[in-house]
Amino acid sequence: INNGHTLQFTPSAAGSTTIGADSYNLLQFHFHGASEHKLDGVNYPLELHFVHKNAADQLAVVGVFIGDGDSNPALAALIASLPSEAGEEHATSPSVDPAALLPASMRYFAYAGSLTPPPCSEGVRWNVLATPIFASRDQIEALTAALGASNREVQPLNTRVLTFGE
């Protein structure tokens, strides 16, 4: 769905992730352009968010930077089924394993934060992968054209504590 803020995909066989001692089920994943986080002070053209929820209804988001590089087959399948207009929903089933949208390295930085669309609700467990995936310039342009400006500016760290892990 193109909800006017992002392009959201809801896979039928979503899978899960374990963060700490908690298991989180994947609800959906979506894109932002440009990235909503910076790595070493650098914004990437796109950022992918995998939104998860655990049994206690707590949210965790895994962020993945998308940089300029070679064509990405998993992104190509998603781009082929993109809704272009805000509010437009496509009931398609692109054959994409969400794991194909992850980098080989799972090094990450983590912090307690909020959702990025208003009202920016707090209580989200963020895990942002430190290694980007790549997409061709054409793929980045196609996603950017469909998204428009859909990112929240990077917020001050304030009292948040960043942790790093593998």
Report the catalytic residues. Answer: 5
| 132 vs 51: CA distance, rounded Å | 18
Q: Give the torsion sign (CA, 131, 113, 147, 89).
A: positive
Omega prior to 94 cis, within 30 of 0: no
Q: How far is CA 91 from the centre of its chain?
A: 20
Task: Show the CA angle centred on residue 89, arms to residues 154 and 122, nearest 5°.
Answer: 30
